[in-house]
Structure 1
Amino acid sequence: MRADDEAFRKGALAALTHLARGDTDVLAPGAQASAPHPFGALDAQGLGTLHADLLRALPDLERRDDILLAGRNMPDDRMPGPRPSPLVATLGAYVGTFRAPFARIPPTGGVVTLNYGEAHHFEDGRLRRSWLVWDIADLMRQAGCWPMSPPLGRPGYWPAPKGGTGLCLSPAPEEGSLERVLAMHDALHRFNGRNLGSMPMDAWADDFMYYAAGNIGACRGLDGFRAHHQIPFLRAFPDRKGAGHFVRLSDGPFAVTGGDVALTHTGADYMGIPATGRSLRFRVMDFYHFDADGRIAENWLPNDTIGLMAQMGVDVMARMRHLTGEPSTTL
């Protein structure tokens, strides 16, 4: 089946739901996945174990997809070689009652949400390749063991797109959404190091919503975006640039990109951590929703905050274990 076939999209959703419930038969032999810190690169067995561990922690687990896009994975010259295509990209949350530890995060006994952005490649109806960007940091926050500085934006559950149109189960007419996103990325890379006005922001609606994972949080409009995310990020990482996208696709008024941001921590502190001088990679996904005027009305940013902190020399997982009664007792 092709990505422009409704059955392909529904089949992908069904397969991902089965995997979340522990059915590893949906995995192709030799399946691979890239997961957030502390999980890293996984083979088929590791991916099955990850989902089994999550299901053990949330035995009444429900997978809720708010956005599903599918289509050709458009090329990126920064990432030569064979490119898995087509892809399905999803954004949503795993919801359930937190009954047992997950990633050694202590259970709360109450309902939690694990926000995610994901991209998947299927062959012959079975999952071959996955990229998982799960908000492990926010699960710590919900468990009351947040080990970092407070988010500048508002943390919490991400709402679905306006109008409830995020589940694109029927192929939508091409609207040039990805081209507009890439043009916006180019505009952001025009930053001259001094003046925010050097980055044109006319691609964004006046009251756009920005939902970011980890230690960033949600904000609204240009002033909120600059205050809570853009300015602190640029001050800390003045040389940031995209290092290549593993996913690039659009579907009607939606588009998604995902990859690593290459940056050097030479500027101000970030998330309370003084400049380290280290070269880093920050794994992110961006889901975009355009309004009727062709401007970005909503942007969701799943990201691997904990993986970024690890590269900066901060073991967030160890700090969390310390806060929950498992401090290190040796050098």
Structure 2
Amino acid sequence: MDFQPEKAVVRAHHAAIAAAAPDAIAAALAEHTAPHWHWRGVHPFEERTGAEAVAATFWQPFLAAMHRVQRREDIFFAGLNEIDGHESRWVVSMGHLVGLFDAPWLGIRPTGRMAFLRYCEFHRVEDGRIAETAFFCDIPHLMTQAGQNPFPPQTAAHLIQPGPIGHDGLLHAPQDPGEGSRTLAAINAMIADLGQWQKGLPLEEELALSWHDDMIWWGPEGIGATYTIERYARQHSGPFRAGFAERSKTRHLARLAEGRFGGFFGWPNFTARATGGFMGFPATGRSGEFRVIDIYRRDGDKLAENWVFIDLLHWARTQGLEVLQRQSGLEG
């Protein structure tokens, strides 16, 4: 299966963004997107339609605050979307947007130093243009870099998160379709085994069905990254399960793989009711939405690395907490 035309569209889109000044970013976005481009972003950006709206909502304010921005990409792949019967073609990019944080953004204080914004985006490409995008970024991680940590101490460690251990995540060339099928099968096995918390095994035994023992889970700010099944169970999966009940079924809008890399996103992926406290927040008893992107690296028949983006600002809103307002006194 050849995804080279779709990859070329997204790489040209990235190049146009990189070359554009803030006042020209809307025109740059329009070069490779459809007129009714459907863009989904984390809170406070939400859903937008068309290049002008996306530019005004995210890119113009971001580029006015963050100067000399570079895209430091770690993972790039494409594939057919399993969710719609392998009809639509998607391209995935993940890494950091790095720049000099010289002016306020979303009420976050500038540092005058380089700063890293973790991002991951899914692009649906149709008729030579990007028709749909999910753009997730880790705003709380940027807040922490600026000395405005919005969350209580996290259970794991959050650092500047690297790409895959083999530095082989940029799949610019065509890949063996069989490898992508194996990766998607490993992801689907993980979803079937673990997605509903109903396997009936001890947690570490559940995890071992789908994961290598030396797995790394690269979680978002507020949770952090954790290494090995034992520490992942202790530092994230166990506390997360203890903090929630009535987890809904998993729902994705796109799920795809190429080579040894794959991933998915939902809007939301699932809902769960906060019953036991999570990340230092009290148990509200409210059901909350989890919008999540997961990117995976497969090694053999099991998963070895997982980069996770959770729209925690949106989840906090469902619990009655406006994190950006609390931190800055400004509307998000």
Tell me, yes or no, whether TM beats 0.5.
yes
Q: Which runs of 5+ in 1 are unaligned?
A: 78-82
Indicate how the Cα distance of structure 1 residues 242 and 61 shifts in structure 2: closer, same or farther if over 3 A, else same.
Answer: farther
Tell me the amino acid that sits aligned with residue 274 of structure 1: P
In 2: Cα distance, 1:214 partner to 1:76 partner: 31
Give the aligned partner of residue 11 of structure 1.
Answer: 9
In 2: Cα distance, 1:220 partner to 1:208 partner: 6
Report Cα offsets for 1:32-66 as digits up to 9, x if no partner.
21100111111222212211221111120011211
Offset, 1:192: 5.9
Give the aligned partner of residue 107 of structure 1.
Answer: 110
In 1: Cα distance, 2:202 partner to 2:142 partner: 36
Mapped contact 1:191–1:199 kept (Cα < 8 A)? no
Report Cα offsets for 1:278-329 as digits up to 9, x if no partner.
12111111111012x322111100111111111111110111114xxx69xx
Mapped contact 1:76–1:245 kept (Cα < 8 A)? no
Indicate how the Cα distance of structure 1 residues 84 and 115 shifts in structure 2: closer, same or farther if over 3 A, else same.
Answer: farther
2:316 matched to 1:318?
Answer: no
Mapped contact 1:65–1:90 kept (Cα < 8 A)? yes
Mapped contact 2:204–2:233 kept (Cα < 8 A)? no
Report Cα offsets for 1:187-230 as digits up to 9, x if no partner.
11243689425735222111111101131111100111111110
2:245 matched to 1:238?
Answer: yes
Give the aligned partner of residue 138 of structure 1.
Answer: 141
2:28 matched to 1:30?
Answer: no
2:213 matched to 1:215?
Answer: no
Mapped contact 2:184–2:256 kept (Cα < 8 A)? yes
* TM-score under structure 1 length normalisation: 0.89
2:175 matched to 1:183?
Answer: no
Query: 249-258 or 49-58, which moves further after superposition?
Result: 49-58
Report Cα offsets for 1:61-93 as digits up to 9, x if no partner.
01121111101111269xxxxx97100011111
Query: 254-263 or 20-29, which moves further after superposition?
Result: 20-29
2:92 matched to 1:85?
Answer: no
Mapped contact 1:266–1:278 kept (Cα < 8 A)? yes
Give the aligned partner of residue 209 of structure 2.
Answer: 202
RMSD over aligned Cα atoms: 2.1
> Greater helix share, 1 or 2?
2
3-state SS, counterpart of residue 67 of structure 2:
coil
Indicate how the Cα distance of structure 1 residues 279 and 111 shifts in structure 2: closer, same or farther if over 3 A, else same.
Answer: same
Q: Which runs of 5+ in 2 are unaligned?
A: none
Mapped contact 1:4–1:70 kept (Cα < 8 A)? no
Tell me the amino acid that sits aligned with residue 213 of structure 2: D
Give the aligned partner of residue 299 of structure 1.
Answer: 306
The alignment of Structure 1 onto Structure 2 pairs a total of residues equal to 316
Mapped contact 1:214–1:304 kept (Cα < 8 A)? no
2:276 matched to 1:268?
Answer: yes
Mapped contact 1:237–1:263 kept (Cα < 8 A)? no
